[in-house]
């Protein structure tokens, strides 16, 4: 008989989601101040588009560093436990974020400024590479099997809550201080706050318990005898391919529709920073709601149908949002909110990933697939979009549409062929 969620399950979800939100804030706050960072950390005589491209290049470096950090932490997570890696990932995130807020600019130390910024961004990437897959595995292995969609959707909403927190703080900074004051030093405040958030998240993780699935595997001596990643690549190629394709779609939705849009609104459409960031807050709040809703729907109707319909809705609402920016700017808030809600289809992705790998190598399987794919597509997407925008202002819209088509095809395949059942723990 399938048990409902109990108090311990809700406590685990709450602590994991809150801790993940604080760590994700540290990782993405960079992008909300990309315009200021580009002006301060690169030569003033450079063209504006080149400084923006260089800034997004450093942003991308964080994604390119994710696979190494994720693979190493996943290896030890599959060998020695999920909980230990949770605490380590926060420490590796909090310190670089704090140091970013203390970095001297190009005017003070010349080329060393972007170099040091790049090193710290790489350290952040290594940390987040273990956090996101580890969090999905952690909550999925704690809750009853019929609530895995809800758990993964809620956790993903928590991670996107970190983006919302970044949006709110960036909005407050731009509303309280002038652009000149932000450039003169106020931009450092969100990074310093991020270091403090990291310490809070470390404290919260103390109260989490190891997952029952890992505890049972350890008791039965059923942990992977070989290198977990070697087993994944030899025996679970289908799961890797599926997970990488879904991560490509997830990265397009998050990076383009949520993270890049505030800068796009300011640079290309002349929308005031405070208004652009307020719109971003609305979209991100709707995204968090969408993640939970999609997780609930996955438990009820299965991942194929939800992904298929969700991809269509994302295509429709994201296109309407981008098309309206030049023609109907008064519709910015409602259309961006609907686009954010549609991005919530990414709440189906961790459910499918968790189901694609057996428990003994689950952390490694998800971490490898997710981080390698995100490093390639999530990291290079801002650079690609920036270059394509020189030819067409609708480049972000066209890119998202292409990935919605990929999601539709995967959803159709899952709906027709079904999803392989993995050895998730019984309820």
Of 220, 134, 143, the C-alpha closest to 426 is: 143
Residue 99 burial (CB < 10 Å; 0-12/13-18/19+)?
middle
Rounded CA gap, 105 and 117, in Å? 9
Rounded CA gap, 111 and 43, in Å? 9
Give pTM, 2 decimals.
0.82
Q: Which residues of 53-85 are buried (b: 16+ CB within 10 A; e: fewer)?
A: bbbbbbbbbbbbbbbebbbbbbbbbbbebbbeb
Q: What are the contacts of 204-208 at 24+ separation with CB within 8 A?
A: 204/15, 204/18, 204/19, 205/15, 205/19, 205/83, 205/86, 205/87, 205/90, 206/87, 207/11, 207/15, 208/12, 208/15, 208/16, 208/83, 208/86, 208/138
Residue 277: its pLDDT value, please? 79
H-type helices in 43-178, by residue range? 48-64, 66-80, 82-100, 106-109, 112-140, 148-176
With residue 324 as reference, give the H or E element that holds it. helix 303-327
With residue 1 as reference, give the H or E element that holds it. none
Compute the CA torsion angle 157, 163, 168, 170 (nearest 10 deg): 180
Between the two ends of the chain, the Cα-to-Cα distance in Å is: 8
Residue 217 burial (CB < 10 Å; 0-12/13-18/19+)?
buried
Rounded CA gap, 294 and 28, in Å? 23
Of 66, 193, 217, 199, the C-alpha closest to 134 is: 66
418 phi and psi, to 5 degrees?
A: 80, 165
Of 86, 194, 148, 129, the C-alpha closest to 355 is: 148
Q: Do residues 189 and 174 lie in contact, with contact meaning Cβ atoms separated by under 8 Å?
A: no
CB count in 10 Å sphere of residue 39: 18
Q: Identify the DSSP state of 180.
A: H
Average pLDDT per 10 consecutive residues for the chain, totaling 427 residues: 73 81 82 82 74 75 78 75 72 87 89 88 84 85 88 91 86 87 92 86 74 65 68 90 94 88 80 83 93 95 94 96 83 94 95 90 90 83 81 87 94 77 39
Q: Do residues 312 and 409 lie in contact, with contact meaning Cβ atoms separated by under 8 Å?
A: no
Rounded CA gap, 418 and 325, in Å? 39
Q: Give me the domains of the chain, ranges plus CATH numbers.
A: 8-417 (1.20.1250.20)
CB count in 10 Å sphere of residue 275: 18
Residue 426: its pLDDT value, please? 35
């Amino acid at each position: 008989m399938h048990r409902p969620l109990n108090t311990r399950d809700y406590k685990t979800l709450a602590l994991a989601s809150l801790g993940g939100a604080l760590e994700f804030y540290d990782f993405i706050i960079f992008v909300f101040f990309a315009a200021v960072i580009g002006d301060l950390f690169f030569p003033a005589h450079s063209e504006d588009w080149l400084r923006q491209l260089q800034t997004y290049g450093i942003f991308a470096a964080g994604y390119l560093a994710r696979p190494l950090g994720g693979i190493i932490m996943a290896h030890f997570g599959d060998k020695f436990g999920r909980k230990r890696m949770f605490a380590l990932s926060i420490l590796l995130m909090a310190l670089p974020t704090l140091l970013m807020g203390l970095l001297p600019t190009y005017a003070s130390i010349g080329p060393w400024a972007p170099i040091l910024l790049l090193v710290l961004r790489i350290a952040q990437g290594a940390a987040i590479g273990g956090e996101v897959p580890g969090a999905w595995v952690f909550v999925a292995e704690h809750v009853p099997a019929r609530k895995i969609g809800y758990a993964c959707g809620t956790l993903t909403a928590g991670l996107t809550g970190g983006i919302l927190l970044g949006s709110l703080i960036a909005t407050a900074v731009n509303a309280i201080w002038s652009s000149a004051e932000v450039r003169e030093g106020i931009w450092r405040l969100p990074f310093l706050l991020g270091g403090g958030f990291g310490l809070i998240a470390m404290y919260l993780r103390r109260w989490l318990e190891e997952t029952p699935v890992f505890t049972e595997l350890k008791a039965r001596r059923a942990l992977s005898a070989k290198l977990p990643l070697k087993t994944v690549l030899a025996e679970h190629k289908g799961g890797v391919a599926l997970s990488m394709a879904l991560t490509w779609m997830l990265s397009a939705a998050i990076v383009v529709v949520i993270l890049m849009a505030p800068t796009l609104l300011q640079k290309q459409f002349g929308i005031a920073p405070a208004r652009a960031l307020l719109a971003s807050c609305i979209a991100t709040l709707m995204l968090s709601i969408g993640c939970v809703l999609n997780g609930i729907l996955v438990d009820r109707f299965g991942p194929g149908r939800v992904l298929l319909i969700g991809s269509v809705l994302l295509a429709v609402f994201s296109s309407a949002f981008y098309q309206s920016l030049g023609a109907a700017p008064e519709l910015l808030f409602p259309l961006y909110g609907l686009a954010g809600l549609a991005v919530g289809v990414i709440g189906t992705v961790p459910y499918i990933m968790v189901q694609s790998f057996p428990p003994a190598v689950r952390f490694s399987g998800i971490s490898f697939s997710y981080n390698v794919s995100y490093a390639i597509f999530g990291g290079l997407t801002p650079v690609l979009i920036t270059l394509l925008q020189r030819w067409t202002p609708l480049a972000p819209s066209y890119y998202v549409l292409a990935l919605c088509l990929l999601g539709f095809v995967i959803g159709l395949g899952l709906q027709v062929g079904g999803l392989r059942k993995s050895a998730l723990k019984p309820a």
